[in-house]
């Protein structure tokens, strides 16, 4: 019996809220069941369908591991603390999933343009006992090409959407998608960038621009 794990993330780019990395583990023979229920890349599915599929996926999977990476940890990586960047942070969390789920094969949607460098960094954090037995498939667009990876993208996306809903309940208004390309998010960011500690990714240029404008106003007051 071969156990296969798919790993993908959601929420890498927003200026508000967390990123979620998910690993789903299956006996290889169960992958057909994922195809039968219509599992595919989460970006190709409407919200309602993702929520419905996420529940079914959890019933089919042997194990599901969800890691939430909050803005502060993301900012530390983007700032280069401990020699990290966002790709390396994602690799470390991906290794954490592999170490816990212990698959025979892991299919990983690669966030880096340099697949070889990403794979080599990832291997540094995988337990040696697993490196000797686990096949690593690290590819771009793995969420489109491998159903196990697509299932993780769905759960990650639903986790991200649930967090957005919690944030909106906390602040009492819509934040849109959390991406700065979204007009609703732009409005919320403009009005609230200096409120709600821990909510915003302060290394994002969109947040920095608002801080810079405030700092400029303070200088002009002299």
State pTM to two decimals: 0.93
CA distance 43 to 34: 16
101-143: per-residue pLDDT in tens? 999 999 999 999 999 999 999 999 999 999 999 999 999 999 9
- CA 49 vs CA 41, 46, 107, 211, 212: distances in Å: 12, 5, 23, 39, 41
Q: How far is CA 222 from CA 140, 210, 215, 217, in A?
A: 52, 20, 12, 9
Q: Where are the domains of the chain?
A: 3-166, 168-217
Give the whole-angstrom CA distance, residue 37 versus residue 106.
22
- In this structure, of 52-56, 68-72, 127-131, 207-211, the range with the lowest mean pLDDT score is 207-211
Residue 59 CB neighbour total at 10 angstroms: 8
Q: In what order do the strands lie in the sheet with 3-10?
A: 63-69, 19-27, 3-10, 105-109, 135-139
Q: How confident is the model at residue 216 (pLDDT cuts 50, 70, 90)?
A: low
| pLDDT 10s digits, 154-189 | 999 999 999 999 999 999 999 999 998 999 999 999
Angle between helices 183-192 and 205-220 (to 10 degrees): 40
What is the per-residue pLDDT for 82? Answer: 81
State residue 215's pLDDT score.
Answer: 62
The burial class, CB within 10 Å (0-12 / 13-18 / 19+), for 210 is middle
Phi, psi of 34 (to 5 degrees): -65, -40
Residues 159 and 9 sit within 8 Å (Cβ to Cβ): no
Task: For residue 173, give both structure tokens.
Answer: 């208004």
**Residue 220: per-residue pLDDT:** 54
Per-residue pLDDT tens over the stretch 26-58: 999 999 999 999 999 999 999 999 999 999 999
Task: Match 């794979």 to its residue by tokens.
Answer: 119
Q: Tokens 């302060």 sit at which residue?
A: 202
pLDDT exceeds cutoff 70 at 100: yes
pLDDT grade for 211, boundaries at 50, 70 and 90: confident
pLDDT of residue 214: 65
Specify the CATH number of the domain 3-166.
3.30.420.10
Predicted confidence (pLDDT) at residue 221 exceeds the cutoff of 60:
no
Q: How many CB atoms lie within 10 A of CB 155?
A: 27
């Amino acid at each position: 019996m071969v156990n296969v794990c798919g790993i993908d993330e959601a929420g890498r780019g927003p200026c508000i809220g967390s990123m979620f990395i998910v690993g789903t583990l299956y006996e290889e023979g169960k992958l057909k069941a994922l195809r039968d229920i219509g599992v595919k890349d989460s970006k190709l599915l409407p919200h309602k369908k993702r929520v419905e599929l996420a529940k079914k996926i959890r019933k089919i999977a042997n194990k599901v591991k969800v890691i939430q990476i909050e803005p502060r940890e993301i900012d530390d990586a983007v700032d280069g603390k401990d020699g990290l960047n966002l790709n390396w942070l994602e690799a470390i969390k991906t290794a954490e999933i592999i170490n816990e789920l212990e698959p025979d094969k892991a299919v990983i949607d690669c966030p880096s343009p340099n697949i070889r460098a990403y794979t080599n960094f990832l291997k540094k954090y995988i337990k040696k006992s697993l490196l000797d037995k686990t096949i690593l498939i690290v590819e771009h667009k793995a969420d489109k090409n491998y159903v196990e990876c697509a299932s993780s993208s769905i759960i990650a996306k639903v986790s991200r959407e649930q967090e957005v809903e919690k944030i909106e309940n906390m602040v009492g208004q819509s934040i849109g998608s959390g991406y700065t390309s979204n007009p609703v998010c732009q409005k919320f960011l403009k009005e609230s960038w200096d409120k709600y500690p821990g909510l915003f990714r302060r290394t994002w240029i969109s947040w920095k621009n608002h801080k810079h404008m405030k700092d400029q106003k303070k200088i002009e007051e002299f």
